[in-house]
Amino acid sequence: MKKRVTLLKEFTKGLWEINPTFKQILGMCPTLAVTVSAINGIAMALATTFVLFFSSLLISLIRKWIPNQVRIASYIVIIATFVTIVDLVMKAQFVELSKALGPFIPLIVVNCIILGRAEAFASKNNPLRSMLDALGNGAGFLISLFVLGSIREIIGSRTILGYQVMPNGFEPWLIMILPAGAFLTLGLLMGLANLYTERKKNLEREALIAQYKRVGREEITDEVLKEAGV
């Protein structure tokens, strides 16, 4: 049986539980490539969120008419439409950012977060839920890109969002604005995220076992624990 998910949950799950970067591990290419600075990360995430939101909405609206055999092609066409809009708007209004992000804006077309949410969520759920899901995932993507970009910008060029935060005596680590720095930072952050999840799960598990012992239930089998979702 399908569990009832509240509308709020559809939004908030994207922030952490299924965070695109740290939990679904999707969209790694822009994540690693553009997070040289915090502002680039924000811009990339906002552009992705825009495309994600509208393509999820549209795909969800027409999900019953898309033949199963050509669904991926249909999604790509829809996504590409919105990516073109973003690309042209950025080229017209934010020239600097557009140059900094380079080919990664057009590449949103094949960003697996968008295709992933379309395939896994929007094609099976109603438009309202799809919109919330898209916003949640976009926000989660924004958070992770901002964190990653900030760390790399602070250590790699002493600034955050263009404001200097580290003293002049601090020698910037050039590696942090090179691709190697992206891999190192992302790997360490992901390790921390996994550690946190694991600790939390263990605590929940122990709490459940303690609860079972209190009410005097003898058998605490793996099946029982699995059913409780811990």
Partner 1 sequence: METTTTIEPKQKVYFDLTTSPHLHSKWTTSKVMWFVVAALVPSIAAALTFFGWTQIFIIITAVVFAVGTEVSIQVIRKKQITWFDGSAALTGLLLALTLPPNFSLSATAIGSVVAIGLGKQIFGGLGYNIFNPALVGRAFLQAAFPVQITTWLKPNFAVDSVTSATPLAAFKFDKIFTDTVPMAIGNVGGSLGETSAIAVLIGGILLIAVGIVNWRIPLSMILGMFLFGGMFWLINPQNPTPIFHIFAGSFLFGAMFMATDWVTSPITNKGMWVFGLGISLVLVVIRIYGGLPEGVMYSILFMNGFVPLINRYTRPTIFGAVKEEKKK
Considering only 23-31, 55-63, 111-119, 171-179, which stretch makes contact with partner 1 by CB under 8 A? 171-179
Instruction: Compute φ and ψ for 163, nearest 5 degrees.
Output: -95, 135
- Using the rule CB under 8 A, is 175 a contact of partner 1? yes
Token pair in block for residue 8: 């709020």
Q: Nearest approach, Cβ of 174 to partner 1 (angstroms)?
A: 6
Which phi-psi region, left, alpha or beta, contains residue 211 (left: φ > 0; alpha: ψ -120 to 50)? Answer: alpha
Measured CA to CA, the distance from residue 142 to residue 56 in angstroms comes to 17
Token reading at 209: 């076992």
Query: Rule CB under 8 A: is residue 192 a binding residue for partner 1?
Result: no
The answer to whether residues 45 and 111 touch, using CB atoms and an 8 Å cutoff, is no
Sole window of 6-14, 84-92, 144-152, 178-186 interacting with partner 1 (rule: CB under 8 A): 178-186
Which residue's CB is nearer to partner 1, number 73 or number 174?
Answer: 174
| Nearest distance in Å: CB 157, partner 1 | 12
**Distance between CA atoms of 204 and 202, rounded to whole angstroms?**
5
Residues 54-93, interacting with partner 1 (CB under 8 A): none
Nearest-CA neighbor of 148 among 174, 187, 113, 109?
187
Nearer to partner 1, 94 or 173 (CB): 173
**Minimum distance, C-beta of residue 175 to partner 1, in the bound complex (Å):** 4
What six digits make up the tokens of 20?
A: 């695109």
Residue closer to partner 1 by CB (options 21, 185) is 185
Report if residue 173 touches partner 1, rule: CB under 8 A.
Answer: yes
Interface residues with partner 1 (CB under 8 A) are 171, 173-176, 178, 180-181, 184, 191
